[in-house]
DNA sequence: GACCAGGCACATC
DNA sequence: GATGTGCATGGT
């Protein structure tokens, strides 16, 4: 079975096994953007606490955060960790939005995928994953999001080697799948969900609870123990 | 108390 | 280009 077929098969199996994931968990595109920064190397549960702090004060809008002093923002997002760093990164992103697009998210998202990625990546604190999360989950444009879990799952199934970088993994998905926003959305959400179950220190560990088999006398499936 | 969590920029070689 | 380090809270 080709790598492309395996990628597609993994998606089918995930969708059959777990159904729609309803990502990104946010009420608005702006909330997606804020969450994308806050979740950098951070447990989502901690991000939720920070988001709740902002919501409780009705601050989850470009205008409100633009007007809020960075130090106050930092205190509110404290539960998400790296709060000084992230308050700067959020400010950078919001300043960019106001400097170039008058604070209008729709104007930003009117850019094509390539231009949108390029512009976002130009903001200090917005790296590739954060950028692609915003493009896919806030702007609803086709770009595949790669994260540590994505690499972990692919490595576990011998679909990449340990040296594969972000662009290589992203390209593997995008060249194997139809360019489809709901598909990219679902697939990445599934990879995060199952990626948590794989060993971190031993990415090739044979006793991980979850794996897809492609060989043998029966159809591929998620192992029974999961 | 150690380890981990939906990264990123920057310094240094 | 590759590698190392700081950033920080909260759950297991």
What are the tens digits of pLDDT across the range A125-169?
999 999 999 999 999 999 999 999 999 889 888 899 988 999 999
Residue percentage of chain A with pLDDT more than 70: 89
Q: Which residue has the higher pLDDT, A224 or A151?
A: A151
Strand B within 7 Å of which CB atoms in A 97-136? 123-131, 133
Report the pLDDT value the prediction gives residue A198, as an integer from 0 to 100: 81
SS percent in chain A: helix, strand, coil, step 5: 60, 0, 40
Å between CA of A90 and C1' of B5: 20
Beta bridge partners of A212: A222
Strand B contact with A220 (CB < 7 A): no
Domain boundaries, chain A: 3-22+144-195, 29-137
Check if residue A79 sits with its Cβ under 7 angstroms from strand C.
Answer: yes
DSSP state of A216: S
Spatial distance from the CA of A35 to the C1' of B7 (Å): 13
- A192 Cβ contact partners less than 8 Å away, ≥ 6 residues apart: A147, A149, A150
Cβ contact A87 with chain B strand, < 7 A? no
Quickly give A50 CA vs C12 C1' distance in Å.
20
Look over chain A and give the mean of its residue pLDDT values, rounded to a whole number: 91
Burial class (CB in 10 A: 0-12, 13-18, 19+), A71: exposed
Task: Tell me which of 3.30.70.20, 1.10.8.60, 1.10.340.30, 2.60.40.10 is the CATH number of domain A29-137.
Answer: 1.10.340.30
Q: Is the CB of A137 under 7 A from strand B?
A: yes
Bigger pLDDT: A116 vs A203: A116
Q: State which of A179-183, A193-197, A203-207 shows the largest mean pLDDT.
A: A179-183
pLDDT tens for A22-62 read 999 999 999 999 999 999 999 999 999 999 999 999 999 99
Over residues A78-88, mean pLDDT: 98
d(CA A45, CA A101): 31
For residues A13 and A16, give the distance between their C-alpha atoms in angstroms, rounded to a whole number.
Answer: 5
Question: Is any atom of strand C within 7 angstroms of residue A83's beta carbon?
Answer: yes
- Calpha distance A64→A47 (Å, rounded): 19
Q: Using the C1' atom of nucleotide C2, identify the protein residue whose alpha carbon is closest.
A: A163
DSSP-based three-state secondary structure for A76: helix
> What's the pTM?
0.93
Asked if strand C comes closer than 7 Å to A207 Cβ, the answer is no
Distance A165 CA to B12 C1' (A): 21
Residue environment code for A195-225, b if the CB has 16+ CB neighbours within 10 A, otherwise e: beebeeeeeeeeebebbbeeeeeeebebeee
Does the pLDDT of residue A225 top 80, yes or no?
no
């Amino acid at each position: 079975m080709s790598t492309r077929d395996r990628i597609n098969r993994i998606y089918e199996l995930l969708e059959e096994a777990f159904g729609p994931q309803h990502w990104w968990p946010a009420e608005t595109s702006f909330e997606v953007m804020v969450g994308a920064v806050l979740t950098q190397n951070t447990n989502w549960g901690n991000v939720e606490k920070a988001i709740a702090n902002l919501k409780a004060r009705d601050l989850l809008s470009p205008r409100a955060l633009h007007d809020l002093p960075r130090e106050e923002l930092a205190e509110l997002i404290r539960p998400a960790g790296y709060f000084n760093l992230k308050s700067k990164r959020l400010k950078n992103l919001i300043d960019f939005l106001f400097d170039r697009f008058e604070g209008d998210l729709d104007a930003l998202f009117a850019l094509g995928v390539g231009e949108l990625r390029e512009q976002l990546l130009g903001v200090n604190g917005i790296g590739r994953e954060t950028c692609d999360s915003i493009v896919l989950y806030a702007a609803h444009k086709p770009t595949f999001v790669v994260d540590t879990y994505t690499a972990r799952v692919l490595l576990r199934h011998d679909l990449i080697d340990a040296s594969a970088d972000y662009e290589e993994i992203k390209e593997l998905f995008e060249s194997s799948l139809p360019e489809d926003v709901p598909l990219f959305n679902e697939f990445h959400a599934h990879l995060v969900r199952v990626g948590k179950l794989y060993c971190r220190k031993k990415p090739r560990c044979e006793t991980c609870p979850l794996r897809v088999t492609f060989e043998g006398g029966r159809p591929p499936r998620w192992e029974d123990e999961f």
